[in-house]
Amino acid sequence: MLSRPAAKLAAALVTALALAGTSACGSDPAAPAGDPTAPIEIWVRKPPGSNTEKTHVALAAKFTEKTGIKANVTALFDDFETKLQQAAAQKKLPDIVVNDTAQLGTLVKQGLVRDVEQSKIDGSGDLTPAAWDAAKGADGKFYAVPFSAQSFALFIRKDWREKLGAPLPSTWDQLDELATSFTTKDPDGNGKPDTYGYVIPGSTKRGYLDWYFSSFLWAAGGDYFSGKTGSLSPAISSTPSVAAAQWLKDQFCTDKSVVPGAITSETTQAHPMFETGKGGIYFTGPYNMARFDKSLGKDKYEVVALPAGPGGKSASLAEGENVYLMAGSKNPEGQEKFAEYLIGVDGQTIGMAADTDGNVVRLPVNKNVDLAKVRADKRWLVFDKVYKDAGRYNPVVPEWTPFRQASAEALSAIVANCGSDTKGELTKLADKFAAELKKQGTGS
């Protein structure tokens, strides 16, 4: 026979199991209980231990000082969305998530975020209207509070360019020419053909390749969709879109000016290619300046806007981070207060972290913050100008992730196989887009 304590333990386990079983099967949406003093749990997509994490911790501390509400920051970087899905499956979401604007649709679709009434957020009127666009769902409601904005620009190895006596590119042809010279003319002077032009994060993971490509697509006059929000039809196989993809393919297949291994590189694997002098042209975001200043040297590279494409347009993917107020919070009021603090002049200024690499606000979303006053580094103004003149957010659809993923896979098919039929692949992609639009109920 079982000894008594063991029997008790077994009984307790069985009971606990039964309870766990019932609670796991419940499907009622957790109603906010509303405890205005409950601590706020915050997840940020930043590398743990980084200075950006420290900035978020500082922001949370200031918030606690101001409101008396405790706030605890958890920094996660790799597979952030996966971990969030896991937390959601256990119904243990954090109260606040600060993450990419592009995640909005997915979060809304799964019901992981609650909607935000603009009028209820103090200081919402101080934010730039463009920034609010990034917080809008396909149904026109707002599901987040914008926190940070950013655009993209070309990082070019200045020392290489000057050594070869090449001008700063002002057209795409010149850009390609520069990339080819970097590949063939030994700009680092080590006598070996071990340098290349473009650094590209070409993995399909998280849709990186499409994320990289979108600015070029728009600048070439192409687009993902035509029509208005709610009645979209695919434009990804249109002539300018095909030309943009062909241009990308030529870099891989004809000019061979792309760093080897690009097709399976994520950003974490692409950054070192630029830092270690494998590639000399990298189209990326301002957050890399601090890193490259340290690893490569500020004098070694320059930051310039992407020249207008053959379509005569300038374009840059605009994105940034939103403050998401997650579902099931014990303290909805505290969630709003935290968001209000982050978008205020104080929160934004602390978040910008002057010229250090701890910046979590890339470009401020609050009109009353003067970028040039907070930061002495003039390169930020390049990104600011690009954002204001040519910034474009991802198309507004209920869920952007499937489009991004499908597009990245199609582009991967095009550039990975030089014998591929660019137009044919994009036509197939357009069919997938049409099916997905229909599935999401926004097709024409």
Partner 1 sequence: MTRTTPWLFLAPALVLFAAFKFTPMWRAIEMSFHEVRPYLGDRWVGWANYQQVATDEDFLAAIGQTIVLALGQTAGSIIIGLALALLLEGSARQLWIVRTAVFLPTVAAMAVVAEVWRILYYPAPDGTMNTILGWLGAGPSQFLNGEDSSLLSVMAVGIWRGAPYDMMIFLAGLAGVDRTLYEASAADGAGIFRRIWHVTLPSLRPVFAILFTLAAIRGLRVFTEVFLLTNGGPNGSTEVLMTLIYKLGLERGELGVAAAGSMILLLATVLLTLAVQFSRARGQKR
Helices (H) and strands (E) in the chain, counts: 17, 14
Q: Distance (Å, rounded) from C-alpha 85 to C-alpha 401? A: 14
Supply the minimum distance, in Å, between the C-beta of residue 47 and partner 1. Answer: 16
Phi-psi region of 231 (alpha: psi -120 to 50; beta: other; left: phi over 0): beta
The reply on whether position 17 binds partner 1 by CB under 8 A is: yes
Write out the binding residues for partner 1, residues 181-220 only, by CB under 8 A: 192-194, 203-206
Q: Distance (Å, rounded) from C-alpha 18 to C-alpha 112? A: 27
Binding to partner 1 by CB under 8 A, coded x per residue (else -) over 294-333, reads: ---------------------------------xx-----
Among 201, 240, 391, 402, binds partner 1 (CB under 8 A): 402
Supply the minimum distance, in Å, between the C-beta of residue 168 and partner 1. Answer: 27
Of the candidates 156, 128, 140, 62, the one whose C-alpha atom is nearest the C-alpha of residue 320 is 128
Q: Distance (Å, rounded) from C-alpha 430 to C-alpha 21? A: 44
By beta-carbon proximity to partner 1, the closer residue of 68 and 111 is: 111
Q: Name residues whose C-beta falls within 8 Å of residue 439's C-beta, 6 or more positions apart in sequence.
A: none
Residue with tokens 């490569």: 296
Supply the minimum distance, in Å, between the C-beta of residue 375 and partner 1. Answer: 35
Among 40, 112, 156, 220, binds partner 1 (CB under 8 A): 112
What letter does residue 192 receive in the DSSP assignment? S
Under rule CB under 8 A, how many of the chain's residues touch partner 1? 53
Q: Distance (Å, rounded) from C-alpha 316 to C-alpha 154? A: 10
The reply on whether position 109 binds partner 1 by CB under 8 A is: yes
Phi, psi of 195 (to 5 degrees): -120, 160
Supply the minimum distance, in Å, between the C-beta of residue 112 and partner 1. Answer: 6
Q: Are strands 279-284 and 153-157 parallel, antiparallel or unpaired?
A: antiparallel
The reply on whether position 19 binds partner 1 by CB under 8 A is: no
Stretch of residues binding partner 1 (CB under 8 A), selected from 59-67, 135-143, 213-221, 264-272: 264-272
Supply the minimum distance, in Å, between the C-beta of residue 37 and partner 1. Answer: 24
Q: Are strands 153-157 and 301-304 parallel, antiparallel or unpaired?
A: antiparallel
Question: What DSSP assignment string belongs to 14-45?
Answer: HHHHHHHHHHHH--SPPPP---TTSPEEEEEE
The reply on whether position 33 binds partner 1 by CB under 8 A is: no
The reply on whether position 2 binds partner 1 by CB under 8 A is: yes
Among 64, 405, 427, 444, binds partner 1 (CB under 8 A): 405
Among 261, 297, 424, 441, binds partner 1 (CB under 8 A): 261
Binding site for partner 1 (CB under 8 A): 1-2, 6-7, 9-10, 13-14, 17, 20-21, 24, 27-30, 79, 81-82, 85-86, 88-89, 91, 106, 109-112, 192-194, 203-206, 260-264, 266, 269, 327-328, 401-402, 405, 409, 412-413, 416-417
